[in-house]
Amino acid sequence: MRRYRYIICLLLAGAMLYYAVPRLDVYSGGLEGVFTISWLAFALIVIAGNLTALLYEPKSKANVRTRRKVVTSNRKRMRSY
Protein backbone atom coordinates (compact mmCIF):
# COMPACT_ATOMS: atom_id res chain seq x y z
CA MET A 1 0.00 0.00 0.00
CA ARG A 2 2.87 2.38 0.75
CA ARG A 3 4.35 1.72 -2.67
CA TYR A 4 1.32 3.27 -4.35
CA ARG A 5 1.60 6.32 -2.10
CA TYR A 6 5.23 6.84 -3.09
CA ILE A 7 4.40 6.48 -6.77
CA ILE A 8 1.53 8.97 -6.50
CA CYS A 9 3.77 11.45 -4.68
CA LEU A 10 6.43 11.07 -7.38
CA LEU A 11 3.88 11.65 -10.12
CA LEU A 12 2.47 14.73 -8.38
CA ALA A 13 5.95 16.17 -7.81
CA GLY A 14 6.81 15.54 -11.46
CA ALA A 15 3.59 17.23 -12.58
CA MET A 16 4.32 20.25 -10.38
CA LEU A 17 7.83 20.50 -11.81
CA TYR A 18 6.48 20.16 -15.36
CA TYR A 19 4.04 22.99 -14.70
CA ALA A 20 6.34 25.29 -12.72
CA VAL A 21 9.76 25.10 -14.38
CA PRO A 22 8.82 27.11 -17.50
CA ARG A 23 7.36 29.84 -15.27
CA LEU A 24 10.29 30.11 -12.86
CA ASP A 25 13.25 32.34 -13.70
CA VAL A 26 16.43 31.08 -12.06
CA TYR A 27 18.56 33.99 -13.27
CA SER A 28 16.38 36.78 -11.86
CA GLY A 29 17.80 38.75 -8.98
CA GLY A 30 16.48 39.44 -5.54
CA LEU A 31 13.76 37.60 -3.74
CA GLU A 32 12.35 36.02 -6.90
CA GLY A 33 15.61 34.21 -7.65
CA VAL A 34 15.94 33.00 -4.05
CA PHE A 35 12.37 31.69 -4.15
CA THR A 36 12.97 29.89 -7.45
CA ILE A 37 16.13 28.17 -6.29
CA SER A 38 14.65 27.17 -2.92
CA TRP A 39 11.46 25.86 -4.56
CA LEU A 40 13.44 23.74 -7.01
CA ALA A 41 15.67 22.45 -4.19
CA PHE A 42 12.67 21.41 -2.10
CA ALA A 43 11.05 19.74 -5.13
CA LEU A 44 14.22 17.73 -5.76
CA ILE A 45 14.37 16.75 -2.07
CA VAL A 46 10.78 15.50 -2.28
CA ILE A 47 11.54 13.45 -5.39
CA ALA A 48 14.74 12.03 -3.89
CA GLY A 49 12.98 11.09 -0.65
CA ASN A 50 10.15 9.31 -2.42
CA LEU A 51 12.53 7.47 -4.73
CA THR A 52 14.63 6.38 -1.77
CA ALA A 53 11.57 5.15 0.10
CA LEU A 54 10.32 3.33 -2.98
CA LEU A 55 13.62 1.64 -3.76
CA TYR A 56 14.63 0.71 -0.22
CA GLU A 57 11.22 -0.41 1.04
CA PRO A 58 11.60 -3.53 3.20
CA LYS A 59 10.27 -6.78 1.85
CA SER A 60 6.87 -7.97 2.99
CA LYS A 61 6.67 -10.18 6.07
CA ALA A 62 5.30 -13.11 4.10
CA ASN A 63 8.43 -13.26 1.95
CA VAL A 64 10.67 -13.09 5.00
CA ARG A 65 8.83 -15.99 6.64
CA THR A 66 9.14 -18.21 3.58
CA ARG A 67 12.85 -17.43 3.32
CA ARG A 68 13.37 -18.40 6.93
CA LYS A 69 11.59 -21.70 6.37
CA VAL A 70 13.78 -22.48 3.38
CA VAL A 71 16.95 -21.59 5.28
CA THR A 72 15.98 -23.68 8.31
CA SER A 73 14.98 -26.62 6.13
CA ASN A 74 18.36 -26.46 4.36
CA ARG A 75 20.14 -26.44 7.70
CA LYS A 76 18.23 -29.48 8.86
CA ARG A 77 19.13 -31.32 5.70
CA MET A 78 22.76 -30.47 6.09
CA ARG A 79 22.79 -31.71 9.67
CA SER A 80 21.01 -34.96 8.83
CA TYR A 81 23.79 -36.10 6.52
CB atoms within 10 A of CB 32: 13
Range with lowest mean pLDDT among 14-28, 33-47, 67-81: 67-81
pLDDT at 25 over 80: yes
Average pLDDT along the chain: 82
Expressed in percent and rounded to 5, the helix, strand and coil fractions of the chain are 85, 0, 15
Query: What's the distance, Cα to Cα, between the start and end of the chain in Å?
Result: 44
Q: What is the pTM of this model?
A: 0.65
Give residue 79's pLDDT: 59
Residues 31-56: tens digit of each pLDDT: 999 999 999 999 999 999 999 998 98
